[in-house]
Amino acid sequence: MKAIDYSEIYVSSIQGRYITYDHLNRFILGLSKSFKVITIGKSVRDEPIKSITFGHGPVRILMWSQMHGNESTTTKAVIDLLNYLKHDSVNALVIANQCTLEIIPILNPDGARDYTRVNANQIDLNRDAQDLTQPESRILKEEYDSFRPDFCFNLHDQRTIFNVGITNKPATVSFLAPAFDVERNNSASRKLSMQLIAAMNSELQELIPGQVGRYDDGFNANCVGDAFQMRETPTILFEAGHYYEDYQREKSREFIFHSLLKGINTIVLSQIENFTVEQYLAIPENGKQFVDISIINQKDLDNTKIIKSLFSIQYKEVLEVDKVVFSPVKHIFETRPAEIFGHKTFNLEVKEDLEWLKKNDILKLLD
């Protein structure tokens, strides 16, 4: 397959962390007749929820994004995917002939508008897979039942706290093949999920070596991925994470785009058997050792550097006039890790660092 120039795929009109259907509608309306766009239901506040279907092939892939309204990176990535598919490349034609994609770009439009995890009834849709108390949950379940997917892609964002294994590399992308029982056994469908993740990881290791993690696989039947895996549909959890100085997650979206395309091509080209469960299990589990800002003091004692992390700062994402701002707050660990990594590290004994901390209203948090 011809190498992809992502700069030609990237939809620059849709950027940032705050993404609603207001930001997507112009792009969606501009899609050709090769794409079927319909309203599949309404949110609690009566906002339309849309699906976009592409292709007419026998292999059926269902994907949904912004189940949590403040997790928008994967929404931007599926827009890039749609932009790639609307150009009649050889690969796009192969996908159209071998595969049928159904994409729900924003499942939780009320949460997206409020920039919150939950829906308008303050319910986490990813804990509502069994009770189906919310209209958005029922819409996803109805689409699953009617579409009868062969694979499901469950698209999310994760916090900046995650590192890969015990390394100081951020988990820029994490994956999970959800469990289908408490014992976390393997089934045919879960093994396929693992093999497909191994394929996507092989691509990402070329782009972001060492920055792919494996999400915790504790079983919860109320989570949608676990529920669909229980029904023997290979389901994959995607988690877009942090890349260096990428708080708007424009780089992370690129890596999710590459993951999506690699996953789809692996399926339609019947290459899943080229990858193994063992390759999936070799992906390190996520740690929780990162903070946005680590503040240290560093002293020389008999020519030996003594470094002590004094304060940890996390950014709180706050919606202000249709824009997400990052407000620093002092971070308290539930369980303090033995080693803390900072996406940025500042030394209290360095004048320039002190000036930066003061300018950004962080010094006042250290009292």
Q: Quick check: 302 pLDDT over 80?
A: no
- Backbone φ, ψ for residue 356 (5° rounding): -65, -45
pLDDT on residue 332: 86
Q: For position 118, what pLDDT does the model report? A: 98
pLDDT in tens, 84-107: 999 879 999 999 999 999 999 999
pLDDT of residue 340: 92
Residue 254's pLDDT is what? Answer: 98
pLDDT tens-digit map of 28-51: 999 999 999 999 999 999 999 999
Neighbour-count burial for 2-30, b at 16+ CB within 10 Å, e otherwise? eeeeeeebbbeebeebbbbbebbeebeee
Domains of the chain, residue spans:
6-287, 290-366
User: What confidence score (pLDDT) does residue 349 get?
Assistant: 85
DSSP string, 131-177: T--SHHHHHHHHHHHHH--SEEEEEEE--TT-EETTSSSB-SEEEE-
Q: What is the pLDDT of residue 306?
A: 53
Q: If you average pLDDT over every residue of the chain, what do you get?
A: 95
Measured CA to CA, the distance from residue 287 to residue 170 in angstroms comes to: 9
User: Look-up: residue for tokens 């795929």?
Assistant: 9
Cβ-Cβ contacts under 8 Å for 236 (sequence gap 6 or more): 151, 152, 153, 154, 175, 176, 177, 193, 196, 197, 225, 263
pLDDT digits (tens, 9 = 90+) for 107-127: 999 999 999 999 999 999 999
* Cβ neighbours of residue 284 closer than 8 Å, sequence gap 6 or more: 164, 165, 166, 167, 213, 214
pLDDT band at 288 (very low <50, low <70, confident <90, very high): very high
Query: Can you give the pTM of this predicted structure?
Result: 0.96
- Give pLDDT tens digits for 138-147: 999 999 999 9
Q: Choose among 209, 109, 205, 215: nearest CA to 157.
A: 215
pLDDT at 297 over 90: no
State mean pLDDT over 11-17.
Answer: 97
For the stretch 159-211, pLDDT in tens is 999 999 999 999 999 999 999 999 999 999 999 999 999 999 999 999 999 99
Q: Confidence class of residue 301 from pLDDT cuts 50, 70 and 90?
A: very low
Helix/strand number for the chain, H first, E second: 11, 14
Confidence of residue 2 (pLDDT cuts 50, 70, 90): low
In percent, how much of the chain has pLDDT > 90?
A: 89
Q: 205-211: which pairs have CB atoms within 8 A and are 24 or more residues apart?
A: 207/255, 207/258, 208/172, 208/173, 208/243, 208/255, 210/164, 210/167, 210/169, 211/164, 211/169, 211/170, 211/171, 211/172, 211/173, 211/243
| Residue 366, pLDDT above cutoff 90 | no
Instruction: Name the CATH superfamily housing domain 6-287.
Output: Zn peptidases (3.40.630.10)
**DSSP codes of every residue in 62-129:** EEE--SSTT--HHHHHHHHHHHHHTS--HHHHHHHHHEEEEEES-S-HHHHHHT-SS-TTS--GGG-T
List, edge to edge, every strand of the sheet that includes 59-64: 35-42, 48-54, 99-104, 59-64, 151-157, 235-240, 173-176, 212-214
Segment 50-65, tens digit of pLDDT: 999 999 999 999 999 9
